[in-house]
Structure 1
Amino acid sequence: MRGIIADIAIRDWGRRDEAVAERLRRVDNRRMDYLRSLYSSFCPDEDEVEIRCLITVSVRIGNHFQAAHNGPRNRTEMMELIKSRLLA
């Protein structure tokens, strides 16, 4: 949990400091390259790989801000469903 809080704080800082924003872009690009390597190992469609990468990063960051209920499932169950879909 502390890792995501630090990540969010750095992203906020990067909105006000171009040097931080540039470093953040480099880190994000490395993360995306890593995710591409993982997803492309079982997903041959380049567009599908990019979609899965963006969803993965968006859920990781956005999950911290989401307060809505997930119907009959709790957040942990939803994260498992997301993971199973992304890895299918």
Structure 2
Amino acid sequence: MSNLNAWVGHRIETLIRSKGMTKRAVSEKSGMPYSSLNSKIKGYRGFDLDDILALAEAIGEPPSELLPPQFHPAITALADSKEME
């Protein structure tokens, strides 16, 4: 598994714990089966953008918080361009 997916999995697990949530609760709120969420967090499978969006909403964080800092400028630029439409 890529370093990026490992980083995202660790970040998601950290956010879940910091919010006092469980992976089971996040799986239910996001609509992602628990087994899929668990295998992605453990790095057995990768995350796609739909996963990031659903998990961010379930955790109560903006999607950028689930991604490494080097992606934040690109996310901000994309959000700004969408607001201008």
The reply to whether TM is greater than 0.5 is no
When normalised by structure 2's length, the TM-score is 0.31
* Relative contact order, higher structure (CA 8 A, sep 6+): 2
Give the number of the structure whose alpha-carbon radius of gyration is greater. 1
